[in-house]
Chains A and B, each alone.
Chain A
Amino acid sequence: DAKTTQPNSMESNEEEPVHLPCNHSTISGTDYIHWYRQLPSQGPEYVIHGLTSNVNNRMASLAIAEDRKSSTLILHRATLRDAAVYYCILRPAGGTSYGKLTFGQGTILTVHP
């Protein structure tokens, strides 16, 4: 299974941009990059995903390196409600590995008022 590596923790101030990195050097050509976040005492929730091109949605932006070996989740203006654990995972497009979805440690984001 392709694995991801993220920093254990990051800190930000409220209303400042946050860039959360993820390394996935063993990514295959058809793996999607997915980001989830887990708010305190809740189950994880989907944030954003991408394959090759950068992506934007109402929650965040995803910047994917040209060689796809790393990606960055961008929160444009952090709020206190963005304090969570952020997980980057790889999701195969198909094949026998399609369903086996594993998570790493994630990055604990602390947002200071």
Chain B
Amino acid sequence: NAGVTQTPKFRILKIGQSMTLQCTQDMNHNYMYWYRQDPGMGLKLIYYSVGAGITDKGEVPNGYNVSRSTTEDFPLRLELAAPSQTSVYFCASFPRQGHGGANVLTFGAGSRLTVL
């Protein structure tokens, strides 16, 4: 199993440009997440999804959009990129309810985005 795959690994954007970070998982997990991590800081939840067609805001959703048309894919769209969006972005997935406490988050390797 590949787990959680993110693309691209690195990207440089100019202010005002737009782009989409791709995330796909092959574990049939219902829940998917996008987090951002600024230098020296912890993870902040941007958006999450509890299943295809259902998304919800996290702690820092402004400047981002998401969609979930399939169980496998959860792309993150940046519109009008700003320097404040320079960060490392992590996608993660999580199984559906049940299985007691054994459900754990599986993270991708991250996408490093720089906005100049």
Contacts and interface: CB of A to CB of B under 8 A. Distances in A.
B110 A99 contact: no
Given A43-B110, A44-B43, A103 B35 contact: yes
Interface stretch (B11-19, B67-75, B79-87, B99-107): B99-107
* Size bin of chain B's contact surface: 20 to 34
A43 B42 contact: no
A93 B101 contact: yes
A105 B41 contact: yes
A43 B90 contact: yes
12 contacts: A32-B101, A43-B92, A43-B109, A44-B43, A49-B102, A49-B104, A50-B101, A98-B97, A100-B48, A104-B42, A105-B41, A106-B42
Interface of A: 32, 34, 36, 42-46, 49-51, 85, 87, 91, 93-94, 98-106
Interface of B: 31, 33, 35, 41-45, 48, 50, 56, 58-59, 90, 92, 94, 97, 100-110
